Every structure is written in structure tokens, then in C-alpha cells.
Amino acid sequence: MLYFLCVFLMLHCALHPLVAQDNLGPEIKRIEQQIIDLEQQQLQLNNQLEVHRLSKIKADIRRIGLPQKSSIATHQIIEHGGLILSYNETHEQANWVSHVIIPAVNKGNLARTNDFRRDSLVKTGSALKADYWYSGYDRGHLAPSADFRWSPRAISESYVYSNMSPQKPELNRETWAKLESFVRKHVWVTNEQLLVVTGPIFDEDLEVITQGPNRLTVPKRYFKVILDNQGDERKAIGFIMPNDLCKKPMVSYATSVDEIESITGLDFFPKLEASMQQKLEASFDFGQWEALKEGEIPTQTPLALNQRPKNTLNSIEADLFVDKKACVCGMVVSTRKTGSGSIFFNFDAKFPNHTFSGSIWSDNVRNFSYEPEIELLGKKICITGKISDFKGKPTMNIEHEKKVRFLGENGKELPK
């Protein structure tokens, strides 16, 4: 009897782990289903948040007031997700486009869609691809798509042709792009939204593109008006740039809102209190905007395994792979551009508390289609290259934008 009891106990002990493992199956399935449910809930919340943000943006634009001009009162007002515009059928482009850059752009990681398309909301018909194709002009965004990286709907709708204007590549890809980044960076650093109104200036004797079904006017100049109506230090500034290569520093193209109003005949902020409107529009101080030259955001925790792609390192682990090629991931919390044009950035903690840094030498900046010191700030990225030691801390030099990958909130690489 004792023998059989011992055999029973031995078999029970031997089989018990298997029984416990079998019981784990339902538990694993339950947790997996919980994760699926949470992901679905997060998706629903993100969709709701996007809807509320877009509604608030249009409410904020209307609170300041749409730009007014009696001679264009009959032109159609078009509302898209993140912008409002006045369409000019005569010139087949907008008189102005008004939008708001919100702090969510700091965490937005959506890529360009390049889904250029006619604007179905324009009753008279908007410009088309054929109007631009092989014309020698870029389809220049008036409200840039990068300002809407946080919203799938807004970034997609920024590619309608009503938001385009024929810009020379020398402007669109150079100083104009730098101006857009300059404005966006202000939002990133201050964490306060900006109202931006952009449009062409319709001077006399303008070139007209007639190769397509529409007559598309080519402006000689463009304006951009920026209003910071948040907090105690309210300010406004304007820019006028020629539709050509801008050979002067950006500050040379800055001007007062009043000056742009006198040229365009537009009243940009008609619902602002009269005294405040007069104060903001009469003069500008470029130094108030330029003072935000070096970007910084708060220190971040190094990325965990589930926050970055497989076979990558975080900023702390990089120290173990000096003199080896690797892929390091982290949040860019500070950037700096030197007088010689080289760019330095830190992962997760600012200098001198950083554990890993990156650099782009001035000769390699040309290999980037964006301004790294602006576009990388506040982004989760992975960079690939050889890790070297600089004064006891790991660093990596980046030679081309192909060595930089942007990460989404889920830690996965974003599509290019």
C-alpha cells in the first residue's frame, strides 16, 4: 500500500507542472484579448481626440476672425479638417489659408501622404495635376503638411489643390521650407499654439500657366502672418518672400502685419480687441522669435525594449558598444546648430547630463531634405552608424538622412 502511495505522489508531482502550464493557456488568451480590447479602445480615443482638436482649431480661427477684404467677399470659403481658406477662381488658388499649429505637432509622427488631388469642395472646380505638371513650378503648400503630423485627416486634406500655389523650387525647397520649420519650432519649444495665415500676393502683370485645363496664376510674392495669442507675451510677425531664390537671411523678409495688410488689403484678425489688434499689428520684434534658437524639451526615460525596434540599443546601452556599428534609439530632447552649420543633438537628457549624443557635420547637412535641428527635436528616432567615444560619452556621426528612422508611439518605425 505504501508503495502505491509513493508511486501516486511521484506521478502527481511530476505531472503537476504540466497541469499548471495547461492552465496558463486560457490566462494567456485572456490577457491577449485584454490587449486587443485596450488597443481598440486607444484607437477609438485617438479618433475622438482628433475630432475634438480639429473642431477646436476651427473655433479658434473663427474666434480671431477670418481675414476680411471687401473685394473678395464673393469668393468661396472652404473648410477642411485643420484649415480654412478663401478660394480665388480667377487665379485657381487660395487668397489665403488660415490654420493653427498646436503643441500636438511635437509628438506627431505621421509621414507625408503626397496624395495631391482636386478639392471637391470648390464649387467652381479647383486646380488639377495637369495645371502644374511639367510647368517647372512646385505644388507649394500654403499650410504645410508637416504642421498636421498629429492628424491623419488634416495631413491628408492638406494635399488638396486649393492649398497649393505654383512656387519656384528655389523658394519652396529652401527659404520657404525653413520659414515653415522656424514657425513650427516655436510651437515645439514654447508648447503654445500659433495661428498662421499664408497666401499669395497678386501683383500686376503676373505669369499665367495655361498648359492644363485651368489658367493658373504664378504669384511673384508670398506672405505669411503669425499670431501668438497665448499667455502674457502676445506677439505677431509677418514675412514677405519673393517667388524665387531668397539670398538674404530670414530676418530680412520679416515685417509687420500692418505692412502686409496694406499690400494685400486684408484685415487678418478682425475679431481681436481693437487696442490689442493695433498693438500686435503695428510692429514686430524678430528677437522674440529668434530667441528660441536652441530647442529643448524635458528629460525622457531611455526607451525600453517594447518602445523600439528589435536589435537596437537605447541611450544607456550605447556605452557598451563603443567602436562598433549599431542602431541607437531615443527621444531627441535638445538640438543645437553651430555657427559653422554643424548640428548636435542629445538623446533622453540634455547636455551635460546626456548619456548619448549625435552629430551632423556641416558638409553632411546637404544630405537632409529637412532641417535636422528643427525636425528631429521632440521625436523618437533611431540612428545607425559607428559609435565612438567623445570625452567619456558615446556619440555617433550621421552622414545622411537615410541613417535616421522615425518611430511612432508604439515604438515601430514609421513609413517613409
Sequence-separated (6 or more) residues with CB below 8 Å from residue 130 = 211, 212, 213
| Structure letter (DSSP) for residue 415 | P
Same fold? 55-290, 305-406: no
Question: Could you give the C-alpha distances from 217 to 173, 220, 291, in angstroms and in order?
Answer: 20, 10, 37
Instruction: Kindly indicate the confidence band of residue 7, based on its pLDDT and cuts at 50, 70 and 90.
Output: very low
Residue 73 has pLDDT above 70, yes or no: no
Average pLDDT over residues 169-179: 92
Residue 281 has pLDDT above 70, yes or no: yes
Least confident of 21-30, 102-111, 211-220: 21-30
pLDDT for 279 equals 92
Question: Could you give the C-alpha distances from 202 to 236, 255, 264, 288, 366, in angstroms and in order?
Answer: 23, 18, 8, 30, 33
* Cis amide leading into 352 (omega within 30): yes
Q: What dihedral angle (degrees, nearest 10) is formed by the CA atoms of 186, 188, 190, 192?
A: 90
CATH assignment, 305-406 = 2.40.50.140
User: pLDDT per residue over 317-362, tens digit each?
Assistant: 999 999 999 999 999 988 988 888 899 999 998 888 888 999 999 9
Least confident of 14-28, 63-77, 154-168: 14-28
Cβ 136 vs Cβ 171: under 8 Å? no
CATH assignment, 55-290 = 3.40.570.10
Compute the distance between CA of residue 160 and CA of residue 264 in angstroms, rounded to an integer: 24
User: pLDDT per residue over 96-147, tens digit each?
Assistant: 999 999 999 887 878 888 999 999 999 999 999 999 999 999 999 999 999 9
> Where are the domains positioned within the chain?
55-290, 305-406
Could you tell me the sign of the dihedral formed by the alpha carbons of 41, 45, 51, 54, in that order? negative
Residue 390 has pLDDT above 60, yes or no: yes
DSSP 361-411: -GGGGGG-SS-HHHHSTT-EEEEEEEEEEETTEEEEE--SGGGEEEB-TTS
Compute the distance between CA of residue 175 and CA of residue 254 in angstroms, rounded to an integer: 12
Average pLDDT over residues 211-236: 93
pLDDT for 6 equals 47
pLDDT for 21 equals 57
**Unique residue bearing C-alpha cell 496664376:** 217
Compute the distance between CA of residue 129 and CA of residue 131 in angstroms, rounded to an integer: 5
pLDDT for 9 equals 44
pLDDT for 291 equals 55
Instruction: Kindly indicate the confidence band of residue 11, based on its pLDDT and cuts at 50, 70 and 90.
Output: very low
pLDDT for 74 equals 65
Residue-averaged pLDDT of the chain: 89
- Work out the angle between the directed axes of helices 257-264 and 274-282 (0-180°, nearest 10): 90
Cβ 333 vs Cβ 298: under 8 Å? yes
Compute the distance between CA of residue 29 and CA of residue 309 in angstroms, rounded to an integer: 24
Give pTM, 2 decimals.
0.72
